[in-house]
Chain A
Amino acid sequence: IAGITQAPTSQILAAGRRMTLRCTQDMRHNAMYWYRQDLGLGLRLIHYSNTAGTTGKGEVPDGYSVSRANTDDFPLTLASAVPSQTSVYFCASSDSTAGGELFFGEGSRLTVL
């Protein structure tokens, strides 16, 4: 059982480049989330999706976009990367949008130079 798979696990990117972080889950969870984690700060929600075909903005959505064409996939795109987007990105899923446990991917460490 894979759970949630993220790719790439690590990437160094030049500023201004476009980048897509991939996230796939095989648990048939309705809700999916993208967080960023920075030293000294709590996890911050970027975008979320409560079900396939719908997405919503989280706490820090600027500079990021997402899509949810099907239940399994939830890619995160940085249209034009900036150094402040250097972070560890976690994808997560839950079988409930009202209080369920989150299952996290292993994370994608992104460095923007």
Chain B
Amino acid sequence: GQNIDQPTEMTATEGAIVQINCTYQTSGFNGLFWYQQHAGEAPTFLSYNVLDGLEEKGRFSSFLSRSKGYSYLLLKELQMKDSASYLCAVMDSNYQLIWGAGTKLIIKP
């Protein structure tokens, strides 16, 4: 079956760096997405990786290793507003998105 694994919850300190991991097993691969979802709100797009390597976008970076079925989202200079759930999703060979359950990130002052 198809599976996306990510930690349920993580805690980090304001100003610090946190890495949220995502491992996947899917039928084919057509890209990996990260979305941010604040409590009670809709998910919003953060990043898309289809080739191996690191994509940097401001304070957020996303890394992909297709051979290892692994990605991470790196958040630098954490701010209180970064408290949210982070959703990892993989597009399979049929261009269907398979979603992880999300990682709830708690930022402490």
Binding site for B on A (CB under 8 A): 40-45, 58, 90, 97-99, 101-107
Contacts and interface: CB of A to CB of B under 8 A. Distances in A.
Contact of B95 (A98, A101, A103): A98
Interface residues of B, number: 23
B4 to A, nearest CB: 7
Given A42-B4, A42-B89, 4 more contacts: A42-B101, A99-B95, A102-B45, A102-B97
Interface string B28-50: 00110101000001111100101
Nearest to B46: A101
A99 B48 contact: yes
Interface of B: 4, 30-31, 33, 35, 41-45, 48, 50, 87, 89, 91, 95-102
A90 B45 CA distance: 14
A45 B95 contact: no
19 contacts: A42-B4, A42-B100, A42-B102, A43-B43, A43-B87, A43-B89, A43-B97, A43-B99, A45-B96, A99-B50, A99-B91, A101-B33, A101-B48, A102-B35, A102-B97, A104-B42, A104-B43, A106-B41, A107-B42
Given A41-B101, A42-B4, A98-B30, A105 B95 contact: no
Nearest to A88: B40
B44 A45 contact: no
A40 B96 contact: no
A99 B30 contact: yes
B99 A42 contact: yes
Contacts of B33: 101-102
A99 B99 contact: no
B42 A90 contact: yes
A23 to B, nearest CB: 12
